[in-house]
Amino acid sequence: MIANYLYTIGRHLPPRVRDDVLKDIEVNLYDYLEENFGKKEYTDEELEKAIRSMGHPHMVAEAYLDQPRGLIGPAYIDAYWLVVKIAVFGIAVGLTIANIINLSGFTNGIQLYLQILAQIWQASLTAVGIITLIFAAVQHYTPEETIKNNEAWSLKILEKAVEPQQKIKLFEIILGTFFLCLSLVVINQGSSFVSTNGKTFVFFNKAALEPYLLWFNLFILVSLAVNIYLLIQRKWQPATRILTVLLNLAGIAVFTIFAFDPNVWNLAPLASYVGSELAVIERGIQISIYIGLAAVVIVSAIDIIGHVKVLARRR
Count Cβ atoms within 10 A of the Cβ of residue 4 and give its class: 0-12 exposed, 13-18 middle, 19 or more buried.
middle
The pLDDT value recorded for residue 66 is 62
Average pLDDT over residues 102-125: 70
Percentage of the residues of the chain whose pLDDT score is greater than 70: 77
Contact assessment for residue 192 and residue 201, using Cβ atoms and an 8 Å cutoff = yes
Q: What is the pLDDT of residues 192-219, one digit of tens each?
A: 444 444 444 445 666 777 778 888 888 8
On the CB side of 182, CA atoms within 13 Å amount to 12
Q: Which residue has the higher pLDDT, 19 or 78?
A: 19
In which band, very low, low, confident or very high, does the pLDDT at 151 lie, cut at 50, 70 and 90? low
pLDDT at 123: 81
Alpha-carbon dihedral sign for residues 33, 37, 40, 45: negative
| Nearest Cα residue to 282 out of 269, 294, 292 | 269
* Integer Cα distance of 298 and 304 in angstroms: 10
Residue 230 has pLDDT above 70, yes or no: yes
Angle at the Cα of 152 from the Cα atoms of 151 and 155, rounded to 5 degrees: 100
Side-chain-facing half-sphere of 49: CA atoms under 13 Å: 11
Q: Is the pLDDT of residue 97 over 50?
A: yes
Phi-psi region of 14 (alpha: psi -120 to 50; beta: other; left: phi over 0): beta
For residues 194 and 102, the answer to whether their CB atoms sit within 8 Å is yes
Domain boundaries, the chain: 1-66, 76-158+167-197+214-231, 237-315
Query: How confident is the model at residue 148, as a pLDDT?
Result: 44
**pLDDT band with cut points at 50, 70 and 90 for residue 301:** very high
Do 60 and 25 contact (CB within 8 A), yes or no? Answer: yes
> Are 231 and 173 spatial neighbours (Cβ–Cβ below 8 Å)?
yes
d(CA 221, CA 218): 5
Per-residue confidence (pLDDT) for residue 304, from 0 to 100 = 93
> What number of residues does the chain have?
315
Higher pLDDT, 29 or 273: 29
Mean per-residue pLDDT, 266-289: 69
Give the DSSP letter string of the chain: -HHHHHHHHHTTS-HHHHHHHHHHHHHHHHHHHHHHH-SSPPPHHHHHHHHHHH--HHHHHHHT--SPP-SS-HHHHHHHHHHHHHHHHHHHHHHHHHHHH--TT--SHHHHHHHHHHHHHHHHHHHHHHHHHHHHHHHHHS-----S-TTS--GGGPPPPPPGGG---HHHHHHHHHHHHHHHHHHHH--EEE-TTS-EEESB-HHHHHHHHHHHHHHHHHHHHHHHHHHHH-S--HHHHHHHHHHHHHHHHHHHHHHH-GGGB--GGGHHHHGGGHHHHHHHHHHHHHHHHHHHHHHHHHHHHHHHHHHHHH-
Confidence of residue 11 (pLDDT cuts 50, 70, 90): confident
Distance CA 295, CA 242 (A): 22
